[in-house]
Amino acid sequence: MAVIAVNIIVFAVMSIFGNTLDAQYMAGHGAMYPPYVAENGQYWRLFTSMFMHFGLMHILNNMVMLGAVGRIVEIAMGHVRFLIAYIVAGICGGALSYVVMLHNNDYAVSAGASGAIFGMVGALVWIVIVNRGFYEGISRQQVIFMVILMIYYGVSTSGVDNWDHLGGLAGGFIISIVLYRKKRYNKNIILE
């Protein structure tokens, strides 16, 4: 998937020129930080932050999840619709995180693809629903368990932006309602 390649390239370049574990460095190069967005109108950070990661383990975990879930969603939707869903979900995740941080007056530098990845899980939920509870070996129960497991991991792990995850999950589900259509097969075609 091209999205994985872009994330890896961004991480490699960021790592060459600085420390990706340094919040100030990350905020200085496009990570989401509410004061920069609110005071300076830098809303583009909701986009750029989804391609940035805090250290090797962060990008490794996210790319493994993206490879597993994203591949299925990309096959179901096609490349262009997958990319649209990925970006919309990532921006929804960043936007919810931004709004909650502003509301709570509790700011942190936020970056990572996990909002968009949760969005792909939300998309997968819709795909399974449309396909009557089963798609490409994934059942309704399995996708629900996946959502619960991912939410549990986020809640039980420190330093995780759970609002970003929730916004991405909802955004991915909603945009998939618009973008995904079950493939129809012509019953009159006979393959020999």
Q: Exposed/middle/buried for 117, CB within 10 Å: 0-12, 13-18, 19+?
A: buried
Given the residues 29, 114, 139, 158, the one annotated as active site:
114
- Write the CB contacts of 48 (distance below 8 Å, at least 6 apart in sequence): 30, 31
Tokens for 20, please give them: 């990706």
Given the residues 53, 110, 165, 176, the one annotated as active site:
165
Instruction: For residue 114, indicate whether it is catalytic.
Output: yes
What is the distance in angstroms between the CA of the first residue and the CA of the last residue of the chain? 33
Q: What is d(CA 158, CA 187) in angstroms, rounded to the nearest whole number? A: 52
E strand map for the chain = 134-135, 138-139
Q: What is d(CA 154, CA 160) in angstroms, rounded to the nearest whole number? A: 6
Q: What is d(CA 51, CA 20) in angstroms, rounded to the nearest whole number? A: 12
Just list the catalytic residues: 114, 165
